[in-house]
Amino acid sequence: MALPAEMTQPKIMKPARDVGIAGYGAYVPRYRLPAVEVSRVWKEGTGGTPIKEKAVPGLDEDTATMSVEAARNAVTRAQIAPTEIRAVWVGSESHPYAVKPTSTIVAESIGAVPSTMGADWQFACKAGTEAFQASMGLVGSGMAEYAMAIGMDTAQGKPGDALEYTAGAGGAAYLIGPAEESLAVIEGSYSFVTDTPDFWRRANKPYPEHGSRFTGEPAYFKHVVGATEALMDAMGTTPSDYAHAIFHQPNAKFPMRVGKMMGFQANQIETGLLVPMIGNTYAGAALIGLSAVLDVAKPGDLILMTSFGSGAGSDCFQLRITDKIEKRQKLAPTTQQYIKRRTEIDYATYTRFRGKLVMK
């Protein structure tokens, strides 16, 4: 028996009420560890490096403090009272506590308490875009005027592992609100998820494990392509329709290759490709790529963003920039301003900052 059409056709997620991004804000910590430092310590400087350098949080930074700064930037750009925010949702795989929400620390700091929801989201690198999608539903249903979705990470890299070159720190916050107040309207979203064990971190373990080459074809490429092509098919778009495209960026090669596979040009991807300069910011990666794009986007631009989270799945979004963007771009530091605020550190300082030294 043939399945009904609605079960075989991609179902584009679009709320009853049009929603968009009322404000956004990025954050990248100040310190940078050049990839050649990791190579110097573990490979005697031989072999290639997947990126130039990665961002490293300072001793007093974690996902909560970084989320607070990005969230403040988002509220500043939206120019609303924080008491109007009805949800503060933080997606991360490096929440400071195992039990106790990051979101309440952020909500309290930005002045959104007590009339708000607070929750922490988890889905490896796509926890932030999940919160973004859920915020669309919350605002789109009329349950809230504004919801804050944050993707932020201080990613863990096992010393000497391939991921140590790239496991970075940073992310972005998005204030989702009614379309008529938005700098970018979210025209549709689609999610593509399967049970694929490409990367994981077991409970109480400090570092993740990964399936090496298994993280490529059956994981990243299958899900990113699956989500993006389904969305474009349903929206009736082609790659050339988009001014910018952001794909999850665990390294510099994957997003460029997946874009090329689907017919995107390098110049559509480069503005949002931050991984060579700040590393893989995990739950923050796609969202901070988007914030870099929003910093330079023009009214009318069509933007595509596809995240990827191990385990595995992708969330894809289509956004249309409105004429409200130009004033709001300048209200808070841009993503590039944070990236330029750069202090290089060596591997020894990195081990101190990341708590890798056993003190007692």
Please say whether the beta carbons of 32 and 59 come within 8 A: no
Q: Where are the beta strands (DSSP E) in 166-267?
A: 169-178, 184-196, 199-200, 209-210, 244-247
Q: Rounded to an integer, what distance in angstroms lies between the CA atom of residue 171 and that of residue 98?
A: 20
**243 belongs to the binding site for another protein (CB under 8 A):** no
95, 210, 244, 248: the active-site residue: 248
Phi, psi dihedral angles at 40 (to 5 degrees): -60, -40
Residue 125 is a catalytic residue: yes
Which entry of 53, 93, 130, 164 is annotated as an active-site residue?
A: 93
**93 in catalytic set:** yes
**Residue among 131 and 278 whose Cβ is closer to another protein:** 278
Q: Where are the beta strands (DSSP E) in 35-145?
A: 53-56, 85-91, 117-121
Among residues 74, 173, 277, 319, the one that binds another protein under rule CB under 8 A: 277
- List of residues 6+ apart from 40 with CB closer than 8 A: 347
The CB-of-306 to another protein minimum distance in angstroms stands at 19
Nearest to another protein of 21, 269 (CB atom): 269
Instruction: Compare residues 178 and 276 and give the one whose CB is closer to another protein.
Output: 276
Question: Does residue 291 touch another protein according to CB under 8 A?
Answer: no
Contact residue for another protein among 9, 11, 59, 241 (CB under 8 A): 59
Nearer to another protein, 73 or 189 (CB): 73
CB 201 within 8 A of CB 309: no
Binding string, 131-170, against another protein, x = CB under 8 A?
----------------------------------------
Least distance CB 312 / another protein (angstroms)? 25
Query: Residue 97 Cβ, how far from another protein at the closest point, in Å?
Result: 7
Does the active-site annotation cover 180? no
In the complex with another protein, the residue whose CB is nearer, 17 or 341, is 341
Binding another protein (rule: CB under 8 A), the pick from 94, 129, 156, 271 is 271
Is residue 93 involved in binding another protein (CB under 8 A)? Answer: no
Among 37, 69, 125, 229, the active-site one is 125
Question: What is the 8-class DSSP label of residue 270?
Answer: G
4: buried, middle or exposed (CB in 10 Å: 19+, 13-18, 0-12)?
A: exposed
CA distance 154 to 161: 16
Within 8 A by CB and 6+ apart from 301, the residues are: 243, 244, 320, 321
> For another protein, which is the closer residue by CB, 127 or 273?
273
Please identify which residue in 194, 212, 265, 337 interacts with another protein, judged by CB under 8 A: 337
Q: What are the CA-CA distances from residue 191 to residues 183, 298, 342 (Å)? A: 23, 27, 35
Using CB atoms within 10 A of its CB, is residue 355 exposed (0-12), middle (13-18) or buried (19+)? exposed
Q: Is residue 316 near another protein by the rule CB under 8 A?
A: no
The Cα 78–Cα 183 span in angstroms is: 9
CA distances for 95 relative to 61, 86, 103, 180, 353, angstroms: 12, 21, 9, 34, 17
Which residues are part of the catalytic machinery? 93, 125, 248
Q: Which residues bind another protein (CB under 8 A)?
A: 30, 35, 49-52, 58-62, 64-65, 68-69, 96-97, 105, 108-111, 252, 256, 270-271, 273-274, 276-277, 295-296, 333-334, 336-338, 340-341, 343, 359
